[in-house]
A and B are shown apart, each in its own frame.
Chain A
């Protein structure tokens, strides 16, 4: 039995350490450790609740905006604010564009090198690569000359001796299976995806002012305003504004057209590049449909409200799929969420290990790892800055696979068609999705499903503005004087990486307590009081390794979760006057 330490785990958002025990070429046990702690909720305490989203947003700049959305929703829930139709649609567009970006970037720039060997791509035949590309999709960048150019560009980099991000990869590892041509194709798309992002970023910048960290959210709606009189009415005569062609107001006719164009471009890339690449790669790695199954329990809070009621229909459903049973979805109640710190670097006041609901949680930091530099966490009973969230005492997996599983059972048409189609094209059953490969495929399928829906939200927004409804914010609770002395609220929603919940308590117009449980807190969770592993740890058990010194296969399963430990570690402090306590969730 050997213990292998991977620190830093790269191509993740934040700081992650993974340790695995290997025997006979198979992972027997695994530990996931978040190694960075900021204390964001501690910092939120005492502030104006209307400012909270700005600070909460800074928890994550990678799938940006998700914490801003969760935060304004939690405060709106506490204060009883209902946002206008336009604001709901703009929020869906901002968040939805973020899903498409996060999934494409999450695959090409954080996950692809686990399956693709760029050094092998140098040996590819450009003409054969072109043939392969044309057999997969209609994407126009597919000529032999184009692929020859990519090889030349790569060759220049390699010959310079400065390999940049490609240096010291596990190149030539026996677990790489793609042909040189397939490798070249994906490397070309790796570079294209860097450029492609700009279209999505343009959507976010038009609607949010900048990206990352869009800055147009408000408690009550959005700070965007349509041009005076509506998008189709021209600008006010008394102070004509200069409208630059490249920089129209988001909700002007030209701005909305630009957003529509960017959405179409984004969708085309997902349909003609991302999804075909994933299916091609999956065809070379079919055995990975049997690796990394993990817990088999999936949790989705649901996302993208489809109407303005208090219990709106969700485009991606809320629910749980337990024991890989695709026959039924079980309900989700926020009261069922609780956290353990039995193996985290915190301790409850009473010294016990009982689970606590986030609203009642408390933790004092209690760092007990070996002194630095620490070669291993072996022997450390507590080993992470992440807490261990549980639903009704069960560890759960969250993320695109969980959402797709729930939506599939709920009968979401687009999801059913995409999953059944992908399974058929690979010649596998739908149960193959409960795997490392399935997680990666579900992410691509979700990107397509959401990319197709963006147009629907944009059309609804254009139609609603055309009716003369120009409202983007409900200001009935903007003035703190209208607030009750005490209020509590929460918001359950989704981020690209999975389920995200925020809880806020307001007292005397200030934040009293603030807490959140993030997707990677679920997936990257350490063990709980009963010693049960978190989702990532469980999925790693049983992973075969060709070369223990170069644990490429471990990275495959780690990155199939697209972990973001930066999001997952936080702290909070109760209101002024109380003892300082830190909550990590």
Chain B
């Protein structure tokens, strides 16, 4: 470490961090944000200099899993986040006061730090019957969210329930559950779906703000590109087995023991945007596909309906689509409802029995636009000013070789602090959308031949 780093380290020491923790923390954050390793010192400078940002963490219709993920975080640990990085002034699961004293903790922060605190929302927001299905202090949770979010520096919708309503909003739900974006219209909004959220991504988003004084670039559903910019399928350690036609065909079979591809067991990795394979959980320990079970698509809109039944095999994924964004996958899903793409249309047809109202609205928009899945370069959204976009962390090098910037380019990229980075990292390779719209594509043609075929209970 350089001398400058040493002084930063001294600052962190004063906050009670050990040297080892300090280095691990900076490294983990730069990795999660896909910044070059040289940015560790800059991250450290920002983190050590910043006053602790007050946080109001609200819980609605949820299971507490995102709180549990946050409290079980690794780099930094929850103790470090709570004491060094953030000032979590209101969080019902951990705060000492209860009742009126707890409510005072919330209103104190709102009064003392107007537009200076982060509102974190976990859980869905019920809107039916005046919001009676979730009441806090005798008030509908919906009103509390609007109140707190209205005066916040930014609102972070954490987990899938706060993203789009999640499980309470799945087919059969009766409480009018929605995500934060449906009731909060003003100010910065960040959505970090996942069931639960990966705590590394949550901390990384906050560290990004501390480092660059801007929130990370997001797609049209407010999801940061650094975490939701790439497909799981393209980052998966089992991907090579997919290419070789090496599939698990029954739980626990020889292929399962050899760690082959779970596509035929219903894995939703080919249609799911998240960085699970690269960041993983519990300090890089594992993630569901590594452990042996397929991805269920828990970061995707309406996944309880759109991705289920979870053990039914998806139609074949696009053969070469290294730069599919979360927006495009979402549009492909609803595009299928609108009859726009055949390949994903087949996928959506079998799954559309429970497509929620939100998807139908989007489908109407997509149909009105006549939109095919389109390239949506980061920062290109005219409605929002996008902070710098680091090179997409999630793409395997061999797939993006042609447009991978050199290391010096990459440094330039992240050094930009202005609102107009226009880094076209994602734009060079277009998605293959050349499938004729009206041609029925036999479902299996694009799938590599099985090496060892056997009766496949879940085949279409």
Chain A residues proximal to chain B, CB less than 8 Å: 5-15, 17, 35-40, 42-48, 50-51, 54-55, 58-62, 64, 105, 109-110, 113, 118, 149, 152-153, 156-157, 160, 162-170, 191, 194-195, 197-198, 201-202, 204-213, 215-216, 218, 220-229, 235-236, 239, 241-242, 244, 246-247, 249-250, 365, 367, 369, 372-375, 385, 470-473, 475, 478-479, 550-551, 555, 564, 566, 571, 573, 580, 582
Task: From known contacts A105-B71, A205-B286, infer whether A44 and B172 are also in contact, taking CB-CB under 8 Å.
Answer: yes
Q: Digit string of B177-190 for contact with A (CB within 8 Å is 1, else 0)?
A: 10000000000000
Asked whether A367 lies within 8 Å of B132 as measured between CB atoms, the reply is yes
Interface of A is mostly: loop
In chain B between 109 and 156, which residues have their CB closer than 8 angstroms to a CB of chain A?
124, 126, 129-141
Give chain B residues whose Cβ lies under 8 Å from the Cβ of A204: 282
Our pick among A11, A157, A239, A573 for the contact of B95 (Cβ within 8 Å) is A11
Asked whether A38 lies within 8 Å of B309 as measured between CB atoms, the reply is no
Asked whether A211 lies within 8 Å of B284 as measured between CB atoms, the reply is no
Closest A residue, CB atoms, query B160: A58
Asked whether B134 lies within 8 Å of A201 as measured between CB atoms, the reply is no
Asked whether B89 lies within 8 Å of A167 as measured between CB atoms, the reply is yes
Asked whether B71 lies within 8 Å of A61 as measured between CB atoms, the reply is no
Q: Is B382 an interface residue (CB 8 A)?
A: no
Task: From known contacts A40-B167, A228-B254, A375-B138, infer whether A223 and B291 are also in contact, taking CB-CB under 8 Å.
Answer: yes
Give chain A residues whose Cβ lies under 8 Å from the Cβ of B124: 38
CA distance A344 to B304 in the complex (A): 29
Asked whether A229 lies within 8 Å of B172 as measured between CB atoms, the reply is no
Q: Say which one of B1-9, B34-42, B61-69 lies at the interface with A.
A: B61-69
Closest B residue, CB atoms, query A153: B16
Return B435 CB to nearest CB of chain A, in Å.
29
CA distance A551 to B98 in the complex (A): 9
CA distance A503 to B216 in the complex (A): 45
Our pick among B65, B195, B257 for the contact of A226 (Cβ within 8 Å) is B257
Asked whether B95 lies within 8 Å of A10 as measured between CB atoms, the reply is yes
CA distance A42 to B126 in the complex (A): 15
Highest count of chain B CB atoms <10 Å: which of A8, A51, A224, A470: A8
Q: Say which one of B99-107, B331-339, B358-366, B423-431 lies at the interface with A.
A: B99-107
Q: Is B447 an interface residue (CB 8 A)?
A: no
Highest count of chain A CB atoms <10 Å: which of B82, B259, B291: B291
Q: Digit string of B242-260 for contact with A (CB within 8 Å is 1, else 0)?
A: 0010100011101011110
Q: Is B91 an interface residue (CB 8 A)?
A: yes
Task: From known contacts A11-B94, A160-B52, A206-B291, infer whether A211 and B282 are also in contact, taking CB-CB under 8 Å.
Answer: yes
Give chain B residues whose Cβ lies under 8 Å from the Cβ of A215: 288, 291, 293, 296
Asked whether A209 lies within 8 Å of B293 as measured between CB atoms, the reply is yes
Q: Say which one of B72-80, B316-324, B369-377 lies at the interface with A.
A: B72-80
Asked whether B285 lies within 8 Å of A247 as measured between CB atoms, the reply is yes
Asked whether B296 lies within 8 Å of A478 as measured between CB atoms, the reply is no
In chain B between 400 and 451, which residues have their CB closer than 8 angstroms to a CB of chain A?
none
CA distance A37 to B138 in the complex (A): 14
Q: Is B96 an interface residue (CB 8 A)?
A: yes
Give chain A residues whose Cβ lies under 8 Å from the Cβ of B133: 36-38, 385
Closest B residue, CB atoms, query A61: B65
CA distance A31 to B67 in the complex (A): 27
Return A213 CB to nearest CB of chain B, in Å.
6
Closest A residue, CB atoms, query B132: A367
Give chain B residues whose Cβ lies under 8 Å from the Cβ of A223: 251, 256, 291-293
Asked whether A61 lies within 8 Å of B257 as measured between CB atoms, the reply is no
Return A338 CB to nearest CB of chain B, in Å.
24
CA distance A472 to B96 in the complex (A): 43
Asked whether B64 lies within 8 Å of A61 as measured between CB atoms, the reply is yes
CA distance A6 to B67 in the complex (A): 22
Q: Is B287 an interface residue (CB 8 A)?
A: yes
CA distance A64 to B237 in the complex (A): 26
Asked whether A169 lies within 8 Å of B101 as measured between CB atoms, the reply is yes
Task: From known contacts A8-B136, A64-B68, infer whether A216 and B257 are also in contact, taking CB-CB under 8 Å.
Answer: no
CA distance A14 to B61 in the complex (A): 8
Give chain B residues whose Cβ lies under 8 Å from the Cβ of A209: 281, 286-293
Asked whether A162 lies within 8 Å of B74 as measured between CB atoms, the reply is no
Give chain B residues whose Cβ lies under 8 Å from the Cβ of A206: 285-286, 291
A11-B96, A210-B288, A580-B174 known, 17 other contacts, Cβ within 8 Å:
A7-B136, A10-B96, A36-B141, A39-B175, A43-B172, A45-B172, A153-B83, A168-B96, A194-B78, A197-B71, A205-B282, A216-B292, A225-B251, A239-B240, A372-B138, A385-B133, A473-B252
Task: From known contacts A165-B88, A202-B285, A249-B259, infer whether A472 and B457 are also in contact, taking CB-CB under 8 Å.
Answer: no
CA distance A478 to B455 in the complex (A): 13
Task: From known contacts A167-B97, A225-B256, infer whether A208 and B134 are also in contact, taking CB-CB under 8 Å.
Answer: no
Closest B residue, CB atoms, query A223: B293
CA distance A42 to B283 in the complex (A): 36
Our pick among A45, A54, A580 for the contact of B296 (Cβ within 8 Å) is A54
Our pick among B167, B246, B290 for the contact of A58 (Cβ within 8 Å) is B167
CA distance A555 to B138 in the complex (A): 19
Closest A residue, CB atoms, query B143: A372
Task: From known contacts A168-B96, A374-B138, infer whether A43 and B173 are also in contact, taking CB-CB under 8 Å.
Answer: yes
Asked whether B93 lies within 8 Å of A10 as measured between CB atoms, the reply is yes
Task: From known contacts A43-B173, A224-B291, A582-B174, infer whether A7 and B99 are also in contact, taking CB-CB under 8 Å.
Answer: yes
Give chain B residues whose Cβ lies under 8 Å from the Cβ of A246: 283-285
Could you write out 26 A-B pairs with CB less than 8 Å apart?
Answer: A10-B94, A11-B96, A15-B59, A15-B134, A37-B134, A43-B304, A44-B172, A46-B171, A48-B308, A50-B311, A54-B296, A61-B62, A149-B16, A156-B14, A160-B52, A164-B83, A168-B101, A168-B105, A168-B108, A195-B78, A211-B69, A220-B251, A224-B292, A235-B258, A241-B259, A385-B133
CA distance A163 to B102 in the complex (A): 13
Give chain A residues whose Cβ lies under 8 Å from the Cβ of B250: 475, 478
Asked whether B93 lies within 8 Å of A61 as measured between CB atoms, the reply is no
Q: Is B168 an interface residue (CB 8 A)?
A: yes
Asked whether B134 lies within 8 Å of A35 as measured between CB atoms, the reply is yes
Give chain A residues whose Cβ lies under 8 Å from the Cβ of B95: 10-11, 165, 167
Asked whether A213 lies within 8 Å of B196 as measured between CB atoms, the reply is yes
Asked whether B135 lies within 8 Å of A15 as measured between CB atoms, the reply is yes
CA distance A566 to B289 in the complex (A): 28
CA distance A285 to B288 in the complex (A): 45
Our pick among A48, A208, A213 for the contact of B65 (Cβ within 8 Å) is A213
Our pick among A59, A157, A166, A216 for the contact of B291 (Cβ within 8 Å) is A216
CA distance A239 to B241 in the complex (A): 9
Give chain A residues whose Cβ lies under 8 Å from the Cβ of B94: 10-11, 109-110, 165
Highest count of chain B CB atoms <10 Å: which of A58, A59, A170: A58
Asked whether B136 lies within 8 Å of A470 as measured between CB atoms, the reply is no
Give chain A residues whose Cβ lies under 8 Å from the Cβ of B63: 13, 58-62, 212, 566
Asked whether A470 lies within 8 Å of B293 as measured between CB atoms, the reply is no
Asked whether B257 lies within 8 Å of A227 as measured between CB atoms, the reply is yes
Task: From known contacts A38-B175, A42-B172, infer whether A198 and B74 are also in contact, taking CB-CB under 8 Å.
Answer: yes
Highest count of chain B CB atoms <10 Å: which of A157, A201, A250: A201
CA distance A61 to B160 in the complex (A): 13
Give chain B residues whose Cβ lies under 8 Å from the Cβ of A221: 251-252
Asked whether B71 lies within 8 Å of A36 as measured between CB atoms, the reply is no
Return A262 CB to nearest CB of chain B, in Å.
10
Give chain A residues whose Cβ lies under 8 Å from the Cβ of B141: 36
Asked whether A210 lies within 8 Å of B281 as measured between CB atoms, the reply is yes
